[in-house]
A and B are shown apart, each in its own frame.
Chain A
Amino acid sequence: MDMKVSKKLGLKERYNLMTRDLAWTPTYQALKDVFPYMEYEGIKIHDWDKFEDPFRMTMDSYWKYQAEKERKLYAIIDAFTQNNGHLGVTDARYINALKLFLTGVSPLEYMAHRGFAHVGRQYPGAGPRVACLMQSLDEIRHSQTQIHSLSNYNKHYNGFANWRHQHDRVWYLSVPKSFFDDAVSAGPFEFIVAIGFAFEYVLTNLLFVPFISGAAYNGDMGAMAFGFSAQSDESRHMTLGLEIIKFILEQDPDNLPIVQAWLDKWFWRGYRMEFGRDNLDYADSQDKKNFEAWRAQSTSN
């Protein structure tokens, strides 16, 4: 039987067939009943198809490569645990940075997971939906790999055991808690500008890369492994944030002042979150006067 050989489809075309083409405009239910939160923030979107997918990863590739990352990561965590690697950490004060991480940051990864599931359902555009849902998956990955990596420290050190209870009650942890509570309770467009762009793109490198470098410097292979592994997911998150803000601004000039106000708000809210990285002052001299100088220097990069 004569079979017409299909022209080999490029990645972009294949990816379109695997995502956007799956979607359709409902006719048995009104669009605004299926996607009820699209109008109340005043953002105007005329054509969701203009969104450019940053990475073009289908689920089969996602599972394949993420599984490989997980195998490697847990192998390192297990090795570090079996070797009592925590005994080799060079500076005891570094352990306090880890306590701040588990109580302050890991719960936020979980909030991001639920937040991205929410916007991943609520956007009418297929492209952004898929990218947001993959991010939701990545964020629960981060929350769980952190809980697992730090589980061994919990066995041997105080200050890790009550992270859930403390995140919701300790005064200085109200900084990260309110950050994400505010973002998730905001509308879907503000959420993505706040988290996808202002946090993930602008600030995440400032928080995570020094933390991971600190871990490597101090001989904490467990944290370093999960950090580098998580950062590769972050590349996909950053490109989503960058593309979505470009898309929103290009859709309608009326969006500009709204987005600008959000950026002003969220940059400064996010900056105050750098408390996590500020705890790295252990890495500098004991002289307390150096904290401000250290922070001024580290933010000039």
Chain B
Amino acid sequence: MQIDLRTVSITPLRQTYDHIARRLGADKPASRYIEATMDVQPQANFHYRPTWDPEHELFDASRTRIVMQDWYALKDPRQLYYGTYAQARARLQEVAEADFEFVESRGLAERFDDTARRTALDFYVPLRHVAWGANMNGAYQCAYGHGTAITQPCLYAGMDQLGIAQYLTRLGLLLGNQGDLEAGKQAWLEAPAWQGLRRVVEDTWVLKDWFELYVAQNVALDGILFGLAYREVDAALSEQAGPTVSMLTRFQAEWFQDANKWVDAVIKTAAAESAENQALLGQWYAHWRGRVQEALAPVARLALGDAGDAALARAVAAVDARMHKSGLAV
């Protein structure tokens, strides 16, 4: 039996916006990601130069030494525009919330092994300040970067880090109390074990080249720190005292997987563009990897004792492998 749906069918005059059709090579339907991202940043006829940076135009590709023929080649493989970003994070949030609820309502925090508790508080709580620094850097990259394809996900990553700082704060309040947050901040400001890392964070705050900042923060610092914190230390604590802390850091672990898809693609595309880009990215990576590894050594030992150095080396090796795959000479 044939079913005829009586609807009005109108032939559209066009499938998408002109600038999108030019990029697609033909007037074809375009995804929401493409329509929301490609060529959205203005390029022409700026009325004024910024009074806060008269050396550059409002949007200026020369704010980095990386050179791209087309900055929109740096598309995000996750295809995150605001709508899909908010919904993706809301899904992670729902799970994280349920996990925090579970730990709290079952009294798992109270019953947690005291030695493991102390380690978790001493190690994870100060990391909320590293995440705050990452939030500032994400804002910098979005503000001064070039082309919506790269600036958009930089802001998303920066705001994710604020969320991470807030989850770490809640971990501190659940496993401990406000006094532990204060102690963590004191350690961040004064304890010798943390000063190398704090110096690295503050040094990133004065980097002018936003792409170098991307390598320092999103590749080196996030890469090595998250591997150490949410794989190595997490596994050690789980073995020692069960998965309570894993539940409270689940957001970070899953976020890291998601973020790496993007980071690896950005480096790969930028490195493939030219030998100059590849060399520059390689130099930046080598420099910041060195600084981060040195800074994290005492922190890894704080959490893992003698096993700290080997764990840190594994975390570094994992980022090396990713960057090698992305085309850097590592």
Binding site for B on A (CB under 8 A): 1, 3-4, 6, 9, 17-18, 21-24, 26-29, 33-34, 36-37, 40, 58-60, 63-64, 66-68, 70-71, 73-74, 84, 87, 107, 110-111, 113-114, 117-118, 120-122, 129-130, 133-134, 136-137, 140-141, 143-145, 147-148, 151, 154-158, 160-165, 167-169, 174, 177-178, 181-182, 184-188
Find out whether the CB atom of B205 lies under 8 angstroms from the CB atom of A26.
Answer: yes
Q: Which residues of A contact B191 (CB under 8 A)?
A: none
Q: Which residue of B lies closest to A183 (CB)?
A: B48
Find out whether the CB atom of A136 lies under 8 angstroms from the CB atom of B14.
Answer: no
Q: What is the 8 Å Cβ interface bit string for chain B, positions 147-190, against chain A (1 contact, 0 not)?
A: 01001100110111011011101000100011001000100110
Q: Which residue of B lies closest to A110 (CB)?
A: B40
- Given A60-B163, A64-B90, A169-B45, 7 more A-B residue pairs with CB atoms under 8 Å apart are A9-B173, A17-B173, A58-B163, A84-B7, A155-B13, A155-B15, A165-B19
Within 8 A of A (CB), among B1-25: 7-8, 10, 12-19
Q: How far apart are the CA atoms of A24 and B126 in the complex, in Å? A: 12
Q: What is the 8 Å Cβ interface bit string for chain B, positions 37-56, against chain A (1 contact, 0 not)?
A: 00111111111111110000
**4 nearest A-B residue pairs (beta carbon):** A67-B90, A59-B163, A155-B12, A181-B47
Out of B42, B82, B136, B139, name the residue touching A140 (CB < 8 Å).
B82
Q: Which residues of A contact B94 (CB under 8 A)?
A: 64
Find out whether the CB atom of B48 lies under 8 angstroms from the CB atom of A185.
Answer: yes
Given A22-B129, A26-B202, A34-B205 in contact, is the A151-B16 Cβ separation under 8 Å? yes
Find out whether the CB atom of B35 lies under 8 angstroms from the CB atom of A156.
Answer: no
Q: Which residues of A contact B185 (CB under 8 A)?
A: 21, 24
Identify whether the interface residues of B are mostly helix, strand, loop, or mixed: helix
Q: Which residues of A contact B17 (CB under 8 A)?
A: 151, 154, 160-164
Within 8 A of A (CB), among B98-145: 109-111, 114, 128-129, 131-132, 135-136, 139-140, 142-144
Q: Which residues of A contact B177 (CB under 8 A)?
A: 4, 6
Instruction: Determine whether B36 belongs to the interface, using a CB cutoff of 8 Å to chain A.
Output: yes
Instruction: Determine whether B93 belongs to the interface, using a CB cutoff of 8 Å to chain A.
Output: yes
Q: How far apart are the CA atoms of A182 and B48 in the complex, in Å? A: 6
Find out whether the CB atom of B135 lies under 8 angstroms from the CB atom of A133.
Answer: yes
Find out whether the CB atom of A29 lies under 8 angstroms from the CB atom of B206.
Answer: yes
Find out whether the CB atom of A67 lies under 8 angstroms from the CB atom of B89.
Answer: yes
Within 8 A of A (CB), among B194-234: 198-199, 202-203, 205-206
Instruction: Determine whether B286 belongs to the interface, using a CB cutoff of 8 Å to chain A.
Output: no
**Which of A1, A118, A157, A162 lies at the interface centre, i.e. has the most chain B CB atoms within 10 A of its CB?**
A118
Q: How far apart are the CA atoms of A287 and B136 in the complex, in Å? A: 54
Find out whether the CB atom of B139 lies under 8 angstroms from the CB atom of A133.
Answer: yes
Instruction: Determine whether B294 belongs to the interface, using a CB cutoff of 8 Å to chain A.
Output: no
Find out whether the CB atom of A117 lies under 8 angstroms from the CB atom of B90.
Answer: no
Q: Which residues of B contact A160 (CB under 8 A)?
A: 17
Find out whether the CB atom of B83 lies under 8 angstroms from the CB atom of A144.
Answer: yes
Given A22-B129, A167-B42 in contact, is the A117-B142 Cβ separation under 8 Å? yes
Find out whether the CB atom of B169 lies under 8 angstroms from the CB atom of A156.
Answer: no
Q: How far apart are the CA atoms of A144 and B166 in the complex, in Å? A: 27
Instruction: Determine whether B97 belongs to the interface, using a CB cutoff of 8 Å to chain A.
Output: yes
Q: Which residues of B contact A154 (CB under 8 A)?
A: 14, 16-17
**Which of A141, A157, A185 lies at the interface centre, i.e. has the most chain B CB atoms within 10 A of its CB?**
A185
Find out whether the CB atom of B50 lies under 8 angstroms from the CB atom of A185.
Answer: yes
Given A6-B178, A163-B17, A164-B19 in contact, is the A118-B143 Cβ separation under 8 Å? yes
Find out whether the CB atom of A63 lies under 8 angstroms from the CB atom of B86.
Answer: yes
Q: How far apart are the CA atoms of A66 and B36 in the complex, in Å? A: 17
15 A–B contacts from the bound complex (CB under 8 Å): A17-B178, A22-B131, A29-B202, A58-B166, A63-B163, A64-B93, A84-B10, A87-B8, A117-B139, A120-B139, A144-B82, A147-B35, A157-B13, A168-B42, A182-B48
B167 CB, nearest partner CB in chain A, Å: 8
Q: Which residue of B lies closest to A70 (CB)?
A: B83
Out of A66, A74, A143, A161, name the residue touching B14 (CB < 8 Å).
A161
B81 CB, nearest partner CB in chain A, Å: 5
Instruction: Determine whether B96 belongs to the interface, using a CB cutoff of 8 Å to chain A.
Output: yes
B168 CB, nearest partner CB in chain A, Å: 9
Q: How far apart are the CA atoms of A166 and B244 in the complex, in Å? A: 56
